[in-house]
Amino acid sequence: MTRALGISRLTFALAFALVALVLALPHLQAPMHWLFPEVERPVYERASFVELVASHLALVLASSAAATLVGVSAGIFATRQSGAEFAPLINAIAAIGQTFPPVAVLAISVPLLGYGGPPTLVALAVYAALPITENTIAGLTSVSRDAKDAAEGLGFSRLRLLADVELPLALPIILTGIRIAVIINIGTATIGSTIGALTLGSPIIEGLSASNPAYVLEGAAVVALLAILIDRLFEDGVHWARRRSGTLTSDAHAVA
């Protein structure tokens, strides 16, 4: 079953470990108190870790989806004949977006969007745009001329050439950019708790402000395991995309 889905056994094991940790944390009062005897309340209880993970993932997925839509669209435009002259400008804008620290974007967004999730989502989306844009451009420009010529010889329109040949062949590189963006966002989303967003940063921020290392450890452990799991999922996806693009390339060469 794991082979059919393209998901490795290690990925399933990490998913099981994350679920087990999230469900077990509320019941770890005794061992956490043993580790941190000076702490009166060693387990974070202001919100359940299930709720924190769900809210954290919602922010990461929404911001990454927005960044993917913008980044892939910008990358496609920059690699078309009509948009080639704008490629340096697109790269410059994306690079400038990542030079701003997320905290600065939050500070600018709060007066406009208020506190909580919306400014966090904007900051994450801006920060994630660069790797996706760069990798989309790199992936599309790496598609071989032979593959394009073979498709054009079969009468493919420009739109079909993009959808059926260029994007599938560029998919492994594009996925790598999305992978980088999502992993960055998983860690960066924790700072959203400084402006009232419900994330896995909530126990970390509260633990730091209240000198409670138990809270910091709990939040950091879940964030780290979540990041590793998502990274493994993307690795499985990239391997699947490479196998698929290899098949497409072989077919294109056969036609040529």
**Residue range 170-228, pLDDT digits in tens:** 988 999 999 999 999 999 999 999 888 899 999 999 999 999 999 999 999 999 999 99
How many CA atoms, within 13 angstroms, populate the side-chain half-sphere of residue 7? 12
What domains lie within the chain, and their CATH numbers?
47-255 (1.10.3720.10)
Is the pLDDT at 8 greater than 80? The verdict is yes
C-alpha 242 chain-centroid distance = 19
More confidently predicted of 243 and 116: 116
Give the pLDDT of residue 1. 45
How many CA atoms, within 13 angstroms, populate the side-chain half-sphere of residue 57? 12
Q: What share of the chain is helix, strand, coil (3-state, %, to 5)?
A: 85, 0, 15
What letter would DSSP give residue 80? S
Is the pLDDT at 43 greater than 70? The verdict is yes
**How many whole angstroms separate alpha carbon 112 and alpha carbon 220?**
30
Cα 62 to Cα 124, 188, 215, 249, distances in angstroms: 9, 14, 26, 33
